[in-house]
Amino acid sequence: MFNMMKTAILMAAITALFMAIGSLLGGRQGMMMALVLALGMNFFSYWFSDKLVLRMYNAQEVDENSAPQFYRMVADLAQRAQLPMPRVYLIQEDAPNAFATGRNPQHAAVAATTGILRVLSESELRGVMAHELAHVRHRDILISTISATMAGAVSMLANFAMFFGGRDSEGRSANPIVGLLVMILAPLAASLIQMAISRAREFEADRGGAEISGNPAALASALQKIQSYARGVPIEAAERHPETAQMMIVNPLSGGGLRGLFSTHPSTEERVERLMAMARGA
């Protein structure tokens, strides 16, 4: 129930952003058009955003025949977590990372890069996939997937505001400087919404993943390895669609600046510290 409320708040906040940008683009008429667009995006995001994200990453579904060891690992963890078996995907990327998506546990999917299968040990990989299944069990995969697709739509609409100008509430041409500010600030506002939702969620998924796998230290080790690779081996799809980065277990984006300042992930060091405290029984 609480996550359903958070999803509703997220949709309302993004809809308000849409309407504000629409008002700049076309006054009252633009605001109403933006409202209709936002409602359509909310509907699309609820039903189809998981498929869109998987397509962005060119994820390929696998089964017990095509990836037997990995598939059986996910099946075992799903059973331990008392969850329905999710769809399982692999992404042909060298950088190690993983994410979960879907609107509920009955329509969930987990995806991992081929790089993570090569880099991590079996116990570390179990910790990572248990973390993703914890997202499924906590029912926050819908929130992350919707926020990713809606944040991308806000950025697109903000670019329209810049390049095609806009009108105020009386229909007069808006100041081009205002359009520039909207282009900068609207995606920033969307990122802040994502950040507020995502950071606490990662700590909870770490705790849940450690409980499902039964090995907090292995998950901590996996986070450290993934973080070290993330600094030098970018995921091209994440660089093209930075709004999806918050879905990953570790932020996959290269570089710092504003991307680092407004990261949707808590620091890996703090996550590792909490997991090691669990391992020590603290």
Q: What is the 3-state secondary structure (H, E, C) of the chain?
A: CHHHHHHHHHHHHHHHHHHHHHHHHHHHHHHHHHHHHHHHHHHHHHHHHHHHHHHHCCCEEECCCCCHHHHHHHHHHHHHCCCCCCEEEEECCCCCCEEEEECCHHHEEEEEEHHHHHHCCHHHHHHHHHHHHHHHHCCCHHHHHHHHHHHHHHHHHHHHHHHCCCECCCCCECCHHHHHHHHHHHHHHHHHHHHHHHHHHHHHHHHHHHHHHCCHHHHHHHHHHHHHHHCCCCCHHHHHCHHHHHHECCCCCCCCHHHHHCCCCCCHHHHHHHHHHHHCCC
Neighbouring-strand partners of residue 81: none
Q: How far apart are CA 187 and CA 198, in angstroms?
A: 16
Per-residue model confidence as pLDDT tens for the chain (282 residues): 555 566 666 667 767 776 776 776 666 776 777 777 767 766 766 677 789 899 999 999 999 999 999 999 999 999 999 999 999 999 999 999 999 999 899 999 999 999 999 999 999 999 999 999 999 998 888 777 666 666 666 666 666 655 555 555 454 445 555 555 556 666 666 666 656 566 678 999 999 999 999 999 999 999 999 999 887 788 988 888 877 888 899 988 865 544 444 466 888 999 999 999 999 985
pTM of the model: 0.77
Report the pLDDT value the prediction gives residue 100, as an integer from 0 to 100.
95
Domain-wise residue ranges, the chain? 2-279
Report the pLDDT value the prediction gives residue 261, as an integer from 0 to 100.
46
Report the pLDDT value the prediction gives residue 2, as an integer from 0 to 100.
53
Catalytic residue among 61, 64, 122, 132: 132
Report the pLDDT value the prediction gives residue 110, as an integer from 0 to 100.
98
Report the pLDDT value the prediction gives residue 15, as an integer from 0 to 100.
72
Report the pLDDT value the prediction gives residue 40, as an integer from 0 to 100.
74
- Residue 21 near residue 161, CB atoms below 8 Å: yes
- Residue 130 near residue 213, CB atoms below 8 Å: yes
Q: Is 239 a catalytic residue?
A: no
